[in-house]
Amino acid sequence: MSLTKTPASSRNTKTSRQARSPRAPWRWIVLAVVGIGAMLTAAPFLLLVLNAFKSSSDYSQNGPLAWPTTFSMQAFEGYLARVDFPLALWNSIVISVVVAFVGVTLGLLAAYGLGIGRIRGSTAVVAVFLLATMLPHEALIYPLFYGAQSLGLLNSIWSIIIVFVVLQGAFATYLLSSVMSTVPKSLLEAAALDGANRRQVLWQVVAPVLRPTMSVLVVFFFIWTWNEFYIPLVLLADPASQTVPIALSTLRGQHSIDITVVNAGSLLSLIPTIIFFVLFQRTLSRGVTAGAIK
């Protein structure tokens, strides 16, 4: 709201900043429209925070827009009584960290074989991997469910880890093999002249060149895996193995639940993401920039 200041202050900034456009009111209108759009985007989050700290009677009496009469942790206690949040948090962290690092590593190995080794049919392999990233998970889910059941991996976080290491690894292969061509040929030739073997070339020449791309991939894989919904929903039915989003989704359809409890649960589940966003904001925007990821 404070973004739509008075025209007087606009004149000040205009002279101090040598505006390009002579039509001063326009810039404020544009800022106001874009700013209001951003506010509408952020509003659900802000209102969520506002209402998570209310008691349920406070919420029903004073409505969702009022300031809380007292700061109440009642809703959070209600959520923590239903869901083992620390365990879900731990599961999510383990799954996402392992998938992010192992997925990128396997992607690097595969892309090295395909890009530098130029295995026959490498274009076809990359195309198949790319196709796999478009594949709807519905077309895999029942066999995965069945397979996990027969291997005793149903309700184990390892089922999710295995599935997403491969799926993210396929994406990493696709992206890294397209970046692989940027590794300077002269570097590879020099390494070969120095008598470096394949493994040395990979870890001492190729990997350092690709490191910026790989770090972006790690960040994105972490967050994609963290947010993943469909496959974990099916494979992790047991509360002991659930991730943060899946634990939250167990509230679905329980109409007896107080709405402030749902709010508190949503807010708790949101906090790790917000922290991550703040920490890695630069990498995230660089990533979207770099390869138009996702």
Partner 1 sequence: MTTETTARSTRSAAQRRSGTARRTGRAGYWWYLAPLGVGFLAVVALPFVMNVYFSLTSWRGGIAPATFIGLDNYARLLGDEEFWRSLYNSVYMIVAIVVVPTVLGVLIAAALFDYIGKQFGGRTAAFLRATYYLPQIVPIAVAGFIWAWVLDSQSGLFTLVLQQLGIQDPPDWLGDPAIALYSVMLVLIWLQIGYPVVIFMAALQRVDPELYEAAELDGAGWFRRFRAITIPQIRPEVFVVVLTATVASLKVFAPILILTGGGPEGSTVVPSYYAYRNFFELSRVGYGATIATVMSLVIFLAATVLLILQRRSDRQENR
- Give the residue carrying structure tokens 């790989």: 214
User: Does residue 5 touch partner 1 according to CB under 8 A?
Assistant: no
Q: How far is the CB of 53 from partner 1 (least distance, A)?
A: 15
User: Does residue 246 touch partner 1 according to CB under 8 A?
Assistant: yes
Q: Which is nearer to partner 1, 182 or 252 (CB)?
A: 252
For residue 135, the Cα-to-chain-centroid distance in whole angstroms is 19
User: Does residue 162 touch partner 1 according to CB under 8 A?
Assistant: yes
Q: How far is the CB of 177 from partner 1 (least distance, A)?
A: 11
Helices (H), the chain: 7-17, 24-52, 56-62, 74-82, 85-115, 122-134, 138-150, 157-179, 185-193, 198-200, 207-227, 230-235, 244-249, 259-291
Q: Give residue 213's identity as a one-letter amino acid code.
A: T
Q: Give residue 257's identity as a one-letter amino acid code.
A: I
**Residue 178: which residues within 8 A CB-CB, separation 6 or more?**
126, 291
CB 244, CB 269: distance < 8 Å:
yes
Q: How far is the CB of 47 from partner 1 (least distance, A)?
A: 6
| Segment near partner 1 (CB under 8 A); pick from 70-78, 80-88, 209-217, 229-237 | 229-237
The residues in 59-88 that bind partner 1, with binding defined as CB under 8 A, are 59-60, 63-65
Q: How far is the CB of 51 from partner 1 (least distance, A)?
A: 8
Q: Which is nearer to partner 1, 113 or 212 (CB)?
A: 113
Considering only residues 89, 93, 97, 166, which one is a binding residue for partner 1 as defined by CB under 8 A?
A: 166
| Segment near partner 1 (CB under 8 A); pick from 71-79, 81-89, 130-138, 209-217 | 130-138
The residues in 17-36 that bind partner 1, with binding defined as CB under 8 A, are 17, 19-21, 27, 30-31, 33-35
Q: Which is nearer to partner 1, 21 or 70 (CB)?
A: 21
How far, in Å, CA of 56 to CA of 286, rounded? 42
Question: In the numeric block, which tokens belong to residue 123?
Answer: 């274009």
In the three-class reduction of DSSP (H, G, I as helix; E, B as strand; rest coil), residue 181 is classed as helix
User: Does residue 136 touch partner 1 according to CB under 8 A?
Assistant: yes
User: Does residue 187 touch partner 1 according to CB under 8 A?
Assistant: no
Q: Which is nearer to partner 1, 142 or 240 (CB)?
A: 142
Q: Give residue 256's identity as a one-letter amino acid code.
A: S
Q: How far is the CB of 240 from partner 1 (least distance, A)?
A: 18
CA angle 163, 178, 130 (to 5 degrees): 40
User: Does residue 245 touch partner 1 according to CB under 8 A?
Assistant: yes
* Per-position DSSP letters for 98-159, written without gaps between them: HHHHHHHHHHHHHHHHHHTS--TTHHHHHHHHHHHHHS-THHHHHHHHHHHHHTT-TT-HHH
Question: In the numeric block, which tokens belong to residue 131?
Answer: 């196709």
- Site size toward partner 1, by CB under 8 A: 98
| Segment near partner 1 (CB under 8 A); pick from 79-87, 93-101, 209-217, 226-234 | 226-234
User: Does residue 118 touch partner 1 according to CB under 8 A?
Assistant: yes
| Segment near partner 1 (CB under 8 A); pick from 67-75, 76-84, 139-147, 178-186 | 139-147
User: Does residue 192 touch partner 1 according to CB under 8 A?
Assistant: yes
